[in-house]
Amino acid sequence: MAEGPRPKRKHDEEEAEAAPHDGAAAVAPFPLAELRLQRVLRESARDKAVFLHGQVTSPSGEGTDAVVILEKTPFQEEKVLDLLKKHTKLELQMHNDIYSTYHLYPPPELSEIKTTVVYPATEKHLQKYLRQEVHLIRETWEDYKNITLPFIQSQSFSIQWVYNILEKKAEADRIIHENPDPCDGFVLVPDFKWNQNQLDDLYLIALVHRREVKSLRDLTAEHLPLLRNILQEGKEAVAKRFGVPGSQLRIYLHYQPSYYHLHVHFTALGYDAPGSSVERAHLLADVVDNLAMDSTYYQKRALTFALRADELLLKKFQEAGRV
């Protein structure tokens, strides 16, 4: 087990609890006790997570949709001794020779479940987390111009939350590193998937300041200074802040991305992060080499990615006879 990030001083914790995030208004806690469960969207035994669709009823009686993700957090080395010693109930399930299995019931303070809430949630959010059949798409540059790009331009994908981070209207206290250059700069922040209590599932996102670059398909040699800054400065920032060397990081872009503002993922190499599989992840170092070799590399080659059965983009490819 890896050692956790440097703990905050008590004074820092008290200040963080007492004040809202830089310029942001205090947010009322989500009314979890009032949530009416509608259905289980998906569960993952591998990730120890369950995705729930619920509704919160307003005083007028109207129900508002929410997505609640419950996820078991990884073990923290400094808390393992407490887990074994502090009023932990152990219940025998099976014994055979030298082998035994038990159910262990830790006290509440050692039973943390990371909870992510999307509220209010739209139908797009519900479909995103619903278990679906998936199909592999082999997208040529012509496909991108004639199918994918028109689809992106026709959709109203809200990325205001990205702009809030870049403009420091939200999460300013979470920024790990920033290069403020408007052309070749970026902001590095922890991803919501990571609670920052341990390094085993380290996950950060680099968001570029340039707003016109949507995805891998837009990149040319013009963007090499930006990409090299992310690669080099990002590794240095992670090593300085968390003590994780660049050789233990997986640094990559998604295609298709989950939102169309260029961003780069930094995850612990030993962590099987969602979306790190070969049909979606493109290592940043490889992207840099490809663009250095050919400025229009990503305007020429075919790219493979997976789409869920209910996604509108898949329907567009089916209508064009490409699936």
Within 13 Å of residue 141, how many CA atoms lie on the same side as its CB? 8
Q: Specify the range with the lowest mean pLDDT, choosing from 3-7, 30-34, 86-90.
A: 3-7
Element (H, E) at 310: none
Residue 26: the pLDDT is 58
In the predicted model, is pLDDT for residue 152 greater than 50?
A: yes
> What span, in angstroms and rounded, lies between the C-alpha atoms of 38 and 187?
37
> What span, in angstroms and rounded, lies between the C-alpha atoms of 57 and 197?
34
In the predicted model, is pLDDT for residue 20 greater than 80?
A: no
Residue 140: the pLDDT is 97
Q: What is the mean pLDDT of residues 162-172?
A: 94
- Known binding-site residues equal 161, 171, 191, 193, 254-265
Q: Which residue has the higher pLDDT, 66 or 81?
A: 66
Q: For residue 322, what are the β-bridge partners? A: none
Q: Where are the beta strands (DSSP E) in the chain?
A: 35-44, 49-57, 63-72, 89-96, 99-105, 113-118, 134-139, 177-179, 186-190, 203-208, 249-254, 263-268, 281-283, 303-308
Residue 233 neighbours by CB distance under 10 Å: 17
* Model confidence pLDDT, tens digit, residues 34-79: 899 999 998 887 778 999 999 998 888 888 999 999 998 878 777 8
Q: What's the farthest any 2 CA atoms get from each other in the chain? A: 66
Residue 13: the pLDDT is 35
> Running DSSP on this structure, what letter comes out for residue 244?
-
Which sign does the torsion angle of CA 236, 240, 246, 249 carry?
A: negative
Q: Which residue has the higher pLDDT, 234 or 120?
A: 234
> What span, in angstroms and rounded, lies between the C-alpha atoms of 221 and 293?
9
Q: With the CA atoms of 93, 95, 96 and 99 taken in that order, what torsion angle do they form, in degrees rounded to the nearest 10?
A: 90
> Running DSSP on this structure, what letter comes out for residue 199?
S
Residue 6: the pLDDT is 41
Whose tokens are 């007492």? That residue is 18
Q: Exactly one of 53, 177, 223, 263 is catalytic; which is it?
A: 263
% of the chain at pLDDT higher than 90: 59
Whose tokens are 């082998």? That residue is 99
Tokens of 84: 């074994």
> What span, in angstroms and rounded, lies between the C-alpha atoms of 216 and 139?
13
In the predicted model, is pLDDT for residue 282 greater than 60?
A: yes
Tokens of 170: 């939200």
Q: What is the mean pLDDT of residues 178-188?
A: 98
Q: Average pLDDT of the chain?
A: 87
Residue 136: the pLDDT is 95
Tokens of 239: 């090593």
Residue 309: the pLDDT is 86
> Running DSSP on this structure, what letter comes out for residue 299?
G
In terms of average pLDDT, the best of 19-33, 103-117, 287-301 is: 287-301
Q: Specify the range with the lowest mean pLDDT, choosing from 96-110, 288-302, 308-322.
A: 96-110
**Can you list the pairs that 67-70 forms with residues at least 24 positions away whose Cβ atoms lie under 8 Å?**
67/41, 67/117, 67/118, 67/119, 67/121, 67/125, 67/126, 67/129, 68/32, 68/35, 68/115, 68/116, 68/117, 68/118, 69/115, 69/116, 69/117, 69/129, 70/113, 70/114, 70/115
Residue 16: the pLDDT is 33
Residue 45: the pLDDT is 78
In the predicted model, is pLDDT for residue 17 greater than 50?
A: no
- Known binding-site residues for substrate equal 161, 171, 191, 193, 254-265
Residue 112: the pLDDT is 84
In the predicted model, is pLDDT for residue 209 greater than 90?
A: yes
125 labelled catalytic: no
Q: Which of 231, 63, 163, 11 is nearest to 53 (CA)?
A: 63
Residue 145 neighbours by CB distance under 10 Å: 12
Which region, left, alpha or beta, applies to residue 236 given φ > 0 means left and ψ of -120 to 50 means alpha? Answer: alpha
How open is the CA angle 197-199-203, to the nearest 5 degrees? 95
% of the chain at pLDDT higher than 70: 91
Q: Specify the range with the lowest mean pLDDT, choosing from 216-220, 227-231, 308-312, 313-317.
A: 308-312
* Model confidence pLDDT, tens digit, residues 299-320: 999 999 999 888 899 999 999 9
Q: Specify the range with the lowest mean pLDDT, choosing from 106-120, 165-179, 201-215, 269-283.
A: 106-120
